[in-house]
Amino acid sequence: MQNKTTLDDLLERLRNLQFELEQEVERLLAEKRADFRYTFHRGKVVFERSVRLLQRQQRIGLWRYLRQAPLSFILSAPIIYGMVIPLVILDLSITVFQHLCFRVYGIPRVCRGDYLVIDRHRLGYLNAIEKLNCVYCGYANGLIAYAREIIARTEQFWCPIKHAQRTLDAHHRAEKFFDYGDVDGWRSRLKQLRRDWDDEPSSPNTKPKAR
């Protein structure tokens, strides 16, 4: 019991440290915004006029960009862009899944917009192909993070048991799962854990809750 209490205390300290780290990251981002002279207006990035002009001067034209690209990069492009098909299928299916099943299970739904951030195409020094690549990467990586959170919440509801072996980069919900072999916890606290959704992914404006 003492080990479990010590572990809980350590996890609480880690959560507080994570909040402090996120606050520091937000402060550094504010400094970067000042350094590169841009602000946010209605959710969109707005650069100063002089910066926009400078960025356009640094843009590489499409023909020059294609001439400098290795032939292997050009030939592999259809394979890379073709992956958008399974990504869109995943996007649609995982969204339908959570809107149907999470309502049944009483699980809070994941906000898609919190994970899919697409803004790098507004940089003036990127040409059309580079902007397309950035939109694609932003969508793909954001989608995987969005899907991971949906699956993590599903796992917390149906199988909140830690693995016997350490897993690489486990999602943040796994820390509250029952230990491998803890039959008492599984039988006595499963219903409680299925209602414990207080640890939503933290944002710079949200402090961790006291426990």
Residue range 172-211, pLDDT digits in tens = 899 899 999 999 999 999 999 999 998 665 444 444 443 3
Same domain, 153 and 169: no
Q: What mean pLDDT comes out for the span 122-139?
A: 93
DSSP per-residue codes, 136-180: HHHHHHHHHHHHHHHHHHHHHHH--B--SS--TT--GGGGGSBPT
* Whether 197 contacts 108, CB under 8 Å: yes
Quick check: is 200 in a domain? no
What pTM does this model have? 0.76
Give the model's pLDDT for residue 208: 41
User: For 68-85, what is the mean pLDDT?
Assistant: 96
Residue 106 backbone zone (phi > 0: left; psi -120 to 50: alpha; other: beta): left
The confidence score (pLDDT) of residue 204 equals 42
Residue 28 predicted with pLDDT over 70? yes
In this structure, the chain runs to a length of 211
Instruction: Say which range, 28-32, 101-105, 162-166, has the weakest mean pLDDT.
Output: 28-32
Residues 70, 153 share a domain? yes
Quote the domain boundaries for residue 147.
59-157
Q: Do the domain assignments include residue 106?
A: yes
Other CB atoms closer than 10 Å to residue 204's CB: what's the count?
Answer: 13
> Count of domains in the chain?
3
Residue 8 reports pLDDT greater than 90: no
Reduce the DSSP state of residue 28 to 3 states and report it. helix
| Residue 30 counted as domain residue | yes
Give me the mean pLDDT over the 15-31 stretch: 74
Same domain, residue pair 87 and 140: yes
Could you tell me if 79 and 139 lie in one domain?
A: yes
Does one domain contain both 66 and 144? Answer: yes
Looking at the structure, tell me whether residues 110 and 39 fall in a common domain.
no
Query: What pLDDT, on the 0 to 100 scale, is given for residue 34?
Result: 67
Instruction: Name the nearest CA neighbour of 172 among 190, 191, 145.
Output: 145
